[in-house]
Structure 1
Amino acid sequence: MTKEILSAENIELGVQLASKEEAVRYVGGILLNNGYVKESYIDKMLEREAIATTFMGNALAIPHGTEDAKKEVLATGLSVVTVPDGVDFGDGNIVKLLIGIAGKGDEHLEILSQIAIICSEEENVEKLTQAATKEEIIATLNEVND
């Protein structure tokens, strides 16, 4: 039985986060609590953030681990967190949508490109950020796969 990459348990709506570090720990914590990663993966996410920000523009950040973090990943998964009030990712970059990624092997590259395609459309990011239900988020992120 393989784990679902994105299930409702991996989504949190309307979260308030005070800092980039708290934001990264939060999305990493969801992946940890739901069995996708070992605890050490969260440190790798923070390490990755220190090397280069995962802020992507369009109020979106995609925190993920460093290259060497793959051994900390138990199953490929995503966590999605909306932050209506935004969280500062530095340099005045305000993030309202966080998508945490853990990928086995090279699976995360495929996922990253899918998310990049979806979130290059500002209205999709808007739709995700404003989503009232977890189902709405799953539906929006799955649209590209259809």
Structure 2
Amino acid sequence: MSINILDKEKVVLNARVESKTEAIELAGKLLVEANHVTSEYIQKMLEREEALTTFIGNGVAIPHGTEDSKKWIQSTGLSFVQIPNGVDFGDGNMAYLVIGIAAVGDEHLDILSNIAIVISEEENVKKIVQTTSKEEILEIFSKGM
């Protein structure tokens, strides 16, 4: 995986958030700071979550923009927010890892597929949620990418 798509500047460990909105905003802010998206994209991430949850199971949510948010994407990238205490994504679904995604064209399809493979292994999710090392998170995901 390209270092531009994922690097330790876009990983937050031990985040304390009060709501899924706050978690999504944090994931989006990391994408903005890395120049993957403009700030308008964060609102589109929140709109997507209102329409359909981005919680995908196994303690992971992957917030991303709506179909009409492409114009605010400058480059493909991921952000990771580790939330050891979890945050409720609705219906009792607790997310311990929130992965923000922005992708040019159809690049998100391969990325989402690779993320799904990594997080389908409960051992990987457990390591990601418990680690105190940004490098360990990057290592786990780079193997799958």
C-alpha distance in structure 2 between counterparts of 1:96 and 1:118, whole Å: 15
Show the counterpart of 1:115: 115
Equivalences for residues 82-93 of structure 1 within 5 A: 82-93=82-93
TM-score (norm 2): 0.96
- Alpha-carbon deviations, 1:47-72, whole Å to 9, x = none? 11011000011110001111111111
C-alpha distance in structure 1 between counterparts of 2:110 and 2:69, whole Å: 17
Show the counterpart of 2:100: 100
Q: What SS does the corresponding residue of 1:137 show, helix, strand or coil?
A: helix
- Alpha-carbon deviations, 1:112-137, whole Å to 9, x = none? 11001111111111111112111101
Q: Which runs of 5+ in 2 are unaligned?
A: none
Alpha-carbon shift at residue 3 of structure 1 (Å): 6.6
C-alpha distance in structure 1 between counterparts of 2:109 and 2:130, whole Å: 26
Does 2:120 match 1:129? no
CA contact (8 A) 1:3 1:75 kept: no
C-alpha distance in structure 1 between counterparts of 2:79 and 2:13, whole Å: 11
Q: Which runs of 5+ in 1 are unaligned?
A: none
C-alpha distance in structure 2 between counterparts of 1:40 and 1:3, whole Å: 24
C-alpha distance in structure 2 between counterparts of 1:25 and 1:14, whole Å: 16
| Identity %, equivalent residues | 53
* Structure 2 CA distance for partners of 1:3 and 1:37, relative to 1, 3 Å: farther
C-alpha distance in structure 1 between counterparts of 2:115 and 2:89, whole Å: 19
C-alpha distance in structure 1 between counterparts of 2:55 and 2:61, whole Å: 4
Equivalences for residues 28-39 of structure 1 within 5 A: 28-39=28-39
C-alpha distance in structure 1 between counterparts of 2:96 and 2:3, whole Å: 26
Structure 1 runs, 4 residues or longer, greater than 2 Å off: none
C-alpha distance in structure 2 between counterparts of 1:7 and 1:91, whole Å: 32
Count residues in correspondence: 144
Alpha-carbon shift at residue 80 of structure 1 (Å): 0.4
- Alpha-carbon deviations, 1:85-127, whole Å to 9, x = none? 1111111111100100000111111111100111111111111
Q: What SS does the corresponding residue of 2:109 show, helix, strand or coil?
A: helix
